[in-house]
Amino acid sequence: MTRAFAAVLVALVVTLAACSDPEPEPTPAPVPTATSSPLPTSTATPAPTATPAPPTPTPTPAATPTPEPTATPVPPPTSTPQIAALFEYSRAVRLLEIQEFDDSIAAYGLVIRKLPEFARAYYGRGLAFYGDERSALALEDFDTAIDLEPEHGPAYVARARIYVDEGETDKAVADLEKALTVFSPVREGREIAATQAMLDSIR
């Protein structure tokens, strides 16, 4: 009885053991991982650059010949201001000789306007002013005449006369002595004698 019970107990234990062992779970198959391959880089070949066409040379226009200027004929001068002034000067001298002092002064003035560097015109007008008893103006003209022509002796003598009239003997003597140095002994002997006589009279 005991053996039979033991055998049943063993069989029961074995059965329970068999029932209690769980079935092994199936191992899931590994899912293949998709390996991402690098995309191939497309190497684009650059398009060839178009070479610009050389510029078309601009044609140079032909040079137009410049016409030669036509020379305009110049009429020959009938009279120059200098010639006209010399005629006026001759007229002024004649007016002075006949003691037409006002007209002579006007005529000499015309000459001076045309020939402002002509010392003899100032000297002549100074004589006309002196004859017209305008000594101050005469002295100015004699000063200008001497400045323009320092070797003109008569201008010194004329200015010395004004200095004598004004009582400036020293200035008169200086002018007369200067006149004696610039007079030409060959051509102006008479003027030298008159100047020397005037000088002796005031010393």
pLDDT digits (tens, 9 = 90+) for 91-108: 999 999 999 999 999 999
pLDDT band, very low/low/confident/very high, at 181 (cuts 50, 70, 90): very high
| pLDDT, mean over the chain | 78
Task: Specify whether the backbone of 40 is left (phi greater than 0), alpha (psi in -120 to 50) or beta.
Answer: beta
Residue 21 is given by DSSP the state S
b/e 15-47 (16+ beta carbons within 10 angstroms → b): eeeeeeeeeeeeeeeeeeeeeeeeeeeeeeeee
126 pLDDT more than 70? yes
How large is the average pLDDT for residues 107-124?
97
Find the range with the poorest average confidence among 40-49, 144-153, 154-163.
40-49
Give the pLDDT score at 39. Answer: 42
Task: Give 84 or 112, the one with higher predicted confidence.
Answer: 112
How many Å is the maximal CA-CA distance in the chain?
213
* Structure tokens that stand for 21 in this block: 């062992």
Structure tokens at 158: 């004329």
In the chain, pLDDT over 90 holds for what percent of residues? 57
Burial class (CB in 10 A: 0-12, 13-18, 19+), 125: buried
Give the mean pLDDT of 105-126.
97
Of the two residues 68 and 107, the one the predictor is more confident about is 107
pLDDT higher for 156 or 58?
A: 156
Contact 124, 151 (CB under 8 A): no
pLDDT at position 73: 53
CA-to-CA distance for 5 and 15, rounded, in angstroms?
Answer: 15
The residue to which tokens 């000789």 are assigned: 97
| pLDDT value, residue 158 | 98
Q: For the residues 65-70, what does the mean pLDDT come to?
A: 56
Is the pTM higher than 0.85? The answer reads: no
Higher pLDDT, 120 or 14: 120
